[in-house]
Amino acid sequence: MDKKSVAGSGAIWEKLITRRTFLKGTAVAGAAAAVEGLLNFDFLWHLTPAARAGSNNNDNKYQVFLNVCPRNCYDTCSILSYVQDGVLKKVTGNPEQTFTRGHLCAKGYTYTRRVYSPDRIKYPMRQTGGRGSGKWQRINWDEAMDVIARKILELKKRYGSTLPICLDKYSGNFEIMHYGIEGMMSSIGYTTRALGTPCWPAGIDAQTFDMGTLYSSDPEAMVNARYLILWGVNPAWTSIHSMHFVYEARKRGAKLVVIDPVISQTASKADLYVQINPSTDGALALGMARYILDHNLYDRDYLQNHVIGWEQFAAYLRDRVTTGWASYKTGVPQEVIETLAREYATAKPALIWIGYGMQRHTNGGQNVRAIDALAAITGNIGKTGGGANYGQLETWGFNYHAMGFKAPAGSKGVSKPDGTVSDRFIDINNFGHDVLAAKDPPVKMLWIACRNPLSQDPEAGVVEKAFRSMELVVTVDQFMNRSAQLSDIVLPATTQFEDWGVNASYWHYWVGINQQAIKPLFEAKSDVQIAMALSRRLNQLAPGSCTYPVDGDMQDWLGKEFNAKTYQMLGIQDWRELLKGPRKARLPAASWSDGKFRTPSGKYELYSQEAQKFGHNPLPVYLDEEKAPEKYPYRLLTPHWKLGLHSQFQNLDWMMSTNPEPWLEIHPDLAAAKGIRDGDMVKVFNDLGWLIIKARVTATVPPGIMAAYEAWYRDVDYNVNYTVKATPADMGTKATGNPGIAFHDNFIDITRA
């Protein structure tokens, strides 16, 4: 066994051989061969080290552009891009934007390496030897659009609708005009869509039942907290800019508590670290609530004026919850629970940041409701420096013009009981299975954009099967990742430096324009331009078959995304004012400060009939956590990694040079019991699949729990999702159409490889 990690689905060892050959031997090398020599890359390649050395004293030799990091990340940083002779030389954070404060994260500083990476997909390419063969042939855009358009029209003719065509798009680029990808699909007819999100839906529903929507306070206002609980969130890795505000709060006297089963980098900064059994956060919150109730530490006025359901909730607590029970469930000593409850309820304002990691469980939604309840009963909601922060979409009120195109007249889709027609929706969190299961008509073609399902979806082996069963798979991306390798046609996407756009964050309150700073590299196009090119060809072949515009000026289109409300929120009259710099939305520092909630009652709903309608207990009650089956007694957590963002960044040379291979964190006691030493290769497996990975023996994880971080490494066949089952979380359906996914309820066994 060589020293690199490998992964597979199904316990078939031969598959390993095929997979490795496919990955190392042909696909990557094949792609490289297809594109190398077509353009002398040395020119750009040699310039970027200079960008690295570029000094701030010489800024006047550059043209400076405003950009925004469009990744799915809390921070959505404001970037200043330095361009010389049409080449992006360096990037820095924009000091004007008070959340980014002039800094990027480690990933952001690699953007020059990403834009000019020799691994970028440079031209449309067609895989001629079959999916995964690695035999790629460069084709031109016209040919690519012709093949795709003909396939769409042929499928439409064969099945009488465009439902056999399925879109899977998620979060590779959250820039607003990227919703044009959905628009392109709508404009050809009714199609099959991956609906939902793998990210945060359980928590969204929880906050929606409690408060009417997710609307957290300005994270910059965290500095005002006197007590700050970071609950199942690891901002030292996943929201590095938030740490400034966390530290500032602490400097001003706040106590910092971190609750996580893993001693994360964030946990290492805490005044109090609480190691909790995974998925038992609801029990901890309810135990704290019981203590608060018994010791009269709740806020009577707030409950009376702004909350419904307190009596029922208090009765539930008295009836079913004790701090002793909470201790038994969570593994947290009873005294710690009581101290935490007392301190939290008496330090005002107290703020809880509820992370996305903690809700990726079968009871994640209920756990978030229980934590929200703490903020409500102590009257911390609506207070600057208080609250239960999870995320916000207040600043996302754009027109979504790029998305708003309708199916051609007479298109056939799914008929609904109310007489309307719609797309066919499948679950994004059980994508492979649902694609394979779709009937009448079956799914025959996939369009993948801003998405890497082969790496990010559970049951990656099933997703692979779904890919292999298609007649045509088109992937639009910047890199030849696993999904691209299993496609028939790949199309090169631009980076944010090569495009116009506008970005908001789901965390902070800033909105910024993304200026085109450099010309598109090679033959890359933006997703919207690809939609236009496809429409052009479709309409040539079959006039009227696609309603998407066939051309358009991207700055005009950008203007069409704004409306009176966004202008008012940003304090501008025209979007071009954003070319002077990003703007912060004019919202109160504390959400819900007017006490008007968006629930049916207009109050905070401890008792939610809406929750009941969706099949949940109307109260935030404890739902038992998922326990390890006998056969697979250990839990494998797969949270997010510092130097990558899902399947992005870790493939770049600077990242690979710092961290060339993934690892598994395992506690010394378990390692000893299994005869595993630090640095050994281990096999992690369950009925679904397996991976072979290097062990790091560390007491930062508890004995029965391991951690391996989700990521895509370029030359390493590593995929945590070969062992992750598509188990739904309890909530998510109300706000996002499908439940979230319990990525962290993943049980495995381990041996030395």
Ligand X SMILES: Nc1nc2c(c(=O)[nH]1)N[C@H]1C(S)=C(S)[C@@H](COP(=O)(O)OP(=O)(O)OC[C@H]3O[C@@H](n4cnc5c(=O)[nH]c(N)nc54)[C@H](O)[C@@H]3O)O[C@H]1N2
Residues that bind ligand X (CB under 6 A): 72-74, 170-173, 198-200, 231-234, 237-239, 259-262, 264, 276, 278-279, 281, 355-358, 361, 449-452, 456, 476-479, 481, 493, 527, 637-642, 644-648, 710, 720-721, 724, 743-744
H or E segment and range at residue 50 = helix 42-53
Name which of Mo ion, ligand X, none residue 196 binds, using a CB cut-off of 5 to 8 Å depending on partner kind.
Answer: none
- Cis peptide leading into residue 492 (ω within 30°): no
- Only segment of 192-200, 236-244, 680-688, 718-726 that touches Mo ion (CB under 5 A): 192-200
CA distances from 116 to 61, 88, 112, 533 (A): 20, 9, 6, 25
Q: Least distance in Å: CB of 642 to ligand X? A: 5
Whose tokens are 């959340």? That residue is 99
Output 456 or 535, the one with its CB closest to ligand X: 456
DSSP state of 614: T
Question: What is the footprint of Mo ion within residues 575-614 (CB under 5 A)?
Answer: none
- Report in angstroms how near the CB of residue 199 gets to Mo ion at its nearest: 3
Using the minimum distance from each CB to ligand X, give the nearer residue, 276 or 307: 276
Query: N- to C-terminal Cα distance for the chain?
Result: 8
71/696 with CB nearer Mo ion: 71
| Minimum CB–partner distance for residue 595 and ligand X (Å) | 28
CB-side exposure of 350: number of CA atoms within 13 Å? Answer: 25
Q: Which residues, 6+ apart, have CB-to-CB distance to 322 below 8 Å?
A: 287, 290
Smallest distance from the beta carbon of 566 to Mo ion, in angstroms? 24
DSSP 535-551: HHHHHHHSTTS--S-S-
> Nearer Cβ to Mo ion, position 302 or 356?
356
Residue 572 dihedral angles phi and psi, to the nearest 5°: -130, 165
Q: Which does 238 bind (CB under 5 to 8 A by kind): ligand X, Mo ion, none?
A: ligand X
**Rounded CA gap, 608 and 210, in Å?**
7
Q: Using the rule CB under 5 A, give the single segment among 46-54, 194-202, 459-467, 586-594 that binds Mo ion.
A: 194-202
Helix axes 334-346, 323-330, angle to 10 degrees: 110
- Select the binding partner of residue 449 from Mo ion, ligand X, none (C-beta < 5 to 8 A, by kind): ligand X
Say if CB 340 and CB 272 are below 8 A apart.
yes
CB 494 within 8 A of CB 526: yes
Cα dihedral sign, 222-225-230-234: positive
**Stretch binding Mo ion (CB under 5 A), from 51-59, 193-201, 443-451, 559-567:** 193-201
Least distance in angstroms from the C-beta of 707 to ligand X: 7
Q: Which helix (H) or strand (E) holds 477?
A: strand 472-477
Q: Choose the contact partner of 671 out of ligand X, Mo ion, none; CB within 5 to 8 A by kind.
A: none
Among 111, 177, 181, smallest CA distance to 518 is for 111
Cis peptide before 639 (omega within 30 of 0): no
362 binds, among ligand X, Mo ion, none (CB under 5 to 8 A by kind): none
Are the CB atoms for 645 and 669 separated by under 8 Å? Answer: no
Give the nearer residue to ligand X in terms of CB position, either 357 or 732. 357
Local structure of 695: helix, strand or coil = strand
> For Mo ion, which stretch binds (CB under 5 A), given 195-203, 368-376, 394-402, 449-457?
195-203
* 274 vs 263: CA distance, rounded Å: 9
Q: Which is nearer to Mo ion, 204 or 449 (CB)?
A: 204
Which of the listed partners (Mo ion, ligand X, none) does 282 bind, with a CB threshold of 5 to 8 Å by partner kind? none
Least gap, CB of 638 to ligand X (angstroms): 4
**Nearer to Mo ion among residue 175 and residue 717 (C-beta):** 175
Measured from the CB atom, the residue of 175 and 299 that comes closer to ligand X is 175
743 binds, among Mo ion, ligand X, none (CB under 5 to 8 A by kind): ligand X
Q: Which residue sits closest to Mo ion, CB atoms considered?
A: 199
| 370 or 569: CB nearest ligand X | 370
Cβ 450 to ligand X, closest distance in Å? 4
Tokens describing residue 224 = 């005002």
Residue 639 binds: one of Mo ion, ligand X, none (C-beta under 5 to 8 A by kind) = ligand X
Nearer CB in complex with Mo ion: 199/262: 199
695 binds Mo ion (CB under 5 A): no
In angstroms, what is the minimal distance from the CB of 267 to ligand X?
A: 8
Sheet holding 501-504, edge to edge: 501-504, 510-514, 583-584
Of 158-177, binders to Mo ion (CB under 5 A) are: none
Instruction: Give the three-class secondary structure for 22.
Output: helix
Shortest distance, CB of residue 168 to ligand X, whole angstroms?
8
Stretch that binds Mo ion, among 198-206, 295-303, 554-562, 702-710 (CB under 5 A): 198-206
Binding Mo ion by CB under 5 A: which of 185, 199, 326, 753?
199
39: helix, coil or strand?
coil
User: How crowded is residue 131: how many other Cβ atoms within 10 Å of its Cβ?
Assistant: 16
CA distances from 280 to 275, 362, 373, 740 (A): 11, 11, 15, 17
Smallest distance, ligand X to C-beta of residue 63, A = 23
Q: How far is the CB of 196 from Mo ion (least distance, A)?
A: 12
Question: Residue 402 is encoded by which pair of tokens?
Answer: 């790029």
Separation of alpha carbons 634 and 628, rounded Å: 6
Kindly state the smallest distance separating residue 287's Cβ from ligand X, in Å: 14
Q: Which residues pair with 228 in a beta bridge?
A: 256, 351
Question: In a 3-state reduction of DSSP, which class is residue 201?
Answer: helix
Residues at the interface with Mo ion (CB under 5 A) = 199
